[in-house]
Amino acid sequence: MEPSSVTTLSTGVPFRPALRTRAYSVTIKGSFGKVRLPRALLEPIHKSRALVQDDASHRGHSPLSPSFADRSRLLRLWAVTELLPEFPYHPDPVATGVIVPSGTVCICCGRERGYVYKGPVYAADELAYRLCPWCIADGGAAERFDAHFTAGTCLGDDVALEVFAAVDQRTPGFTAWQEPQWFFHCADGAAFLGPVGSAELAVYPEVLEMLRREANGWGWPSEQVEYFLASLDKDGEATAYLFRCRVCAAHLAYTDFA
């Protein structure tokens, strides 16, 4: 499709689509204007429908295929998707996989907002895949359902109750092999960066030493400790979970396995 051509969607909206890929977002330009969407929102569509066609003549722009059947879905997702709220203690929950694109209607606010939380929820009601990130961020889900997003297990420093509540009730959690644990450091909650393995830990020698001390505390011989550290896998077992102190920027981690 030529850059100047127009495709009329099933919705009746003239559409001159073009994508400019960036690290975390995609800019879509058409006759409806211009909007930036989180890249993760479009990736499932790209993969399932081969949305992007490579064409060097477009200088990094890739037009949508004119036969692409999900154009109306794309516009619907654009219409309901807002900028995700900020989570100081979990800076990128899309990258860690606990917030995913979805057309689910949130059980708390009753709105379809383009994303749903798929991480652990500790509550009397069944809330898995039913909460939007905004109702976590503003505390609405915690207040309405008495929901918690950590297992209540803390590592590191003691902190004020309001700090713990901000992590426990207004921050997306993460899934671990056992009950997840959250680091607190310098009287504040640490920021969760995601699961990591030995390959990722190679650039964090201080974290490796921290994990070595942890494993030594289990009474293992040094050879077993080193084998264990080398076998850590962010997508397998065992896994390390990486945090960064929001005050001193120190990196912290613990390991977990079934």
Quick: pLDDT tens for 196-218: 999 999 999 999 999 999 999 99
Indicate the pTM of the whole model.
Answer: 0.70
**pLDDT tens digits, one per residue of 38-91:** 555 555 444 433 333 333 344 444 444 434 445 555 545 554 557 899 999 999
Name the DSSP letter for residue 58: G
Structure tokens at 75: 């516009």
If one compares 19 and 150, the residue with the highest pLDDT of the two is 150
Contact 193, 157 (CB under 8 A): no
Starting at the edge strand found earlier in the chain, the sheet holding 239-244 runs 191-196, 239-244, 251-256
